[in-house]
Structure 1
Amino acid sequence: MSASAVFKPSRIDGRRLRSERTKQLIIEAYLALLRERPTTPVPTAAEIAERAGYSVRSVFERFPDLHTLRVAAADYGLAHAAALAPARDVDADRPTRIKSQVETRAGTCERGVALWRALTFNVDEDDALKARLRFARTRTMERLEIMYQPELSTLAETDRRNMLITLEALTDMESWARMREMHGLSFAEACAVWIRAIDRMLPPTPPRA
């Protein structure tokens, strides 16, 4: 086998890695622009390219259109949020679990509300984004079910599902944004609102066996 045949795959892998890195930097530039200007229209290709340090052509070589970039950013954001928000204090007492769940969810909302708004813009026209929004909401409900399993276990199936739906709605992105932006609450004050509301909504915690 010739030396050129041996080294050719590594060169291909290197190009692929550079291309993937470029895609990641373009996605991160898109997300950074969303966070910086949450009330303005989604960034243009030129703005994204400038922030990422690439040409507009480079953007469209990796993403055929801005819709594809938007979907890729959704996947990146969801994966990033999951990595930064593992379930904590699952077996702790009720006050600790509520505080832990609220602070974790609040951190996710604080970091992700700009992306969430970009995803929900004209979402009814986009099946790919609708699927990702459903996934995000389902994952939130699954986390709530894990954190409040002792209390939810005391409810009938329909009541348990209704409680999870209510808790998910209470702690959604726009609920957090309204407290922070419209009502001017600090991070700690907004967390306290959620903590009190959840504590009142949940049924009594059953005694440990």
Structure 2
Amino acid sequence: MADAHTALAAGGNSTPGRVDGRTARAERTRRAIVEAHYALISEGDLKPTGERIAERAGVSLRALWTNFKDLETLFAATDALLVSRQESAWTEISPTLPFTTRVDEFCRQRARLLEIVAPLARAATIKQPFSAQLQDNRKRHIARVRTELEALFAHELAAAGPGRTQLLDALSISTTWAGWSLLRDELGLSTDEARATMSRTVTALLVTAMAAPVHSRG
């Protein structure tokens, strides 16, 4: 989104007040479109059309595609909204807490955040093979979890020795959407049941690694 100075330059004799007003209106329109897209998916419409998004946002279809040049830019903006909502629900867990407490608090938090991401993750699965933006979104979400795992379980990962990367990969599968989707959608577990299974898996992986470091890959 261009700032006021850019808009002023493009507008020639436009006054700063007019520029600021247009910028604010454009930002409100963009926000309404992104929130409409997010809401429709959250309500179960995994493939909302441009017409439905525009209607929900209270804007014209032309306004939708004026503000977003294609679906990829809309996917990026919607993911940014998702990340902001996840960040609002995220709290830092101290790496100095006892092992069992860290595992429990981490898995409870992951369950909360994965339930937030669930509708958009399910929708993304449909178009992800054909969307570079959705693929990038997925990679960034996984990278954030891996960073958190590395910080929270640094001691246990170090104890795995040469198998550290393999252990981190296993933990990543267990605590990101791929594992959560299997538990919730394929096995039909409740949120509490899926969270307990995640906790058991994370505990087993870390305890086993501390007891006898696994071999590195290849």
User: Given the two structures, how large is their TM-score scaled by the length of structure 2?
Assistant: 0.80
Q: Distance in 1 between matches of 2:54 and 2:104?
A: 40
Give how far 1:41 is off.
Answer: 4.5
Partner residue of 1:160 out of 164, 175, 188: 164
Partner of 1:123: 128
* 1:88-127 Cα shifts (integer Å, max 9, x gaps): 2332111111111111111111011221233343433333
Given that 2:42 and 2:120 are in contact with CA atoms closer than 8 Å, whether structure 1 keeps it comes out as yes
Q: Distance in 1 between matches of 2:86 and 2:177?
A: 13
Give how far 1:169 is off.
Answer: 0.7
Q: Distance in 1 between matches of 2:129 and 2:188?
A: 30
Q: Distance in 1 between matches of 2:130 and 2:199?
A: 35
Q: Distance in 1 between matches of 2:128 and 2:72?
A: 11
Aligned-residue identity in percent: 30
Given that 1:70 and 1:119 are in contact with CA atoms closer than 8 Å, whether structure 2 keeps it comes out as no
Moved more, 164-173 or 82-91: 82-91
Q: Distance in 2 between matches of 1:10 and 1:84?
A: 37
Partner of 1:143: 148
Given that 1:26 and 1:59 are in contact with CA atoms closer than 8 Å, whether structure 2 keeps it comes out as yes
Q: Distance in 2 between matches of 1:184 and 1:89?
A: 32
Aligned-residue CA RMSD (Å): 2.3
Given that 2:167 and 2:209 are in contact with CA atoms closer than 8 Å, whether structure 1 keeps it comes out as no
Partner of 1:3: none
Give how far 1:70 is off.
Answer: 1.8
Q: Distance in 2 between matches of 1:122 and 1:111?
A: 19
Q: Distance in 2 between matches of 1:190 and 1:123?
A: 24
Given that 1:34 and 1:43 are in contact with CA atoms closer than 8 Å, whether structure 2 keeps it comes out as yes
Partner residue of 1:191 out of 185, 190, 195: 195
User: Given the two structures, how large is their TM-score scaled by the length of structure 1?
Assistant: 0.83
Correspondence list, 1:1-209, <5 A: 8-37=15-44, 41-156=46-161, 158-203=162-207
Given that 2:93 and 2:105 are in contact with CA atoms closer than 8 Å, whether structure 1 keeps it comes out as yes
Unpaired stretches in structure 1, ≥5 consecutive residues: 1-6
* 1:133-176 Cα shifts (integer Å, max 9, x gaps): 211111111111112112112122x4111111111111221422
> What letter corresponds to residue 187 of structure 2 in structure 1?
H
Unpaired stretches in structure 2, ≥5 consecutive residues: 1-13, 211-218
Give how far 1:68 is off.
Answer: 2.2
3-state SS in 2 of match to 1:153: helix
Instruction: State how many pairs are aligned.
Output: 197
* Residues 1:137 and 1:16: Cα distance change in structure 2 (over 3 Å): same
Q: Distance in 1 between matches of 2:79 and 2:133?
A: 10
Moved more, 68-77 or 106-115: 68-77
Given that 1:87 and 1:147 are in contact with CA atoms closer than 8 Å, whether structure 2 keeps it comes out as no
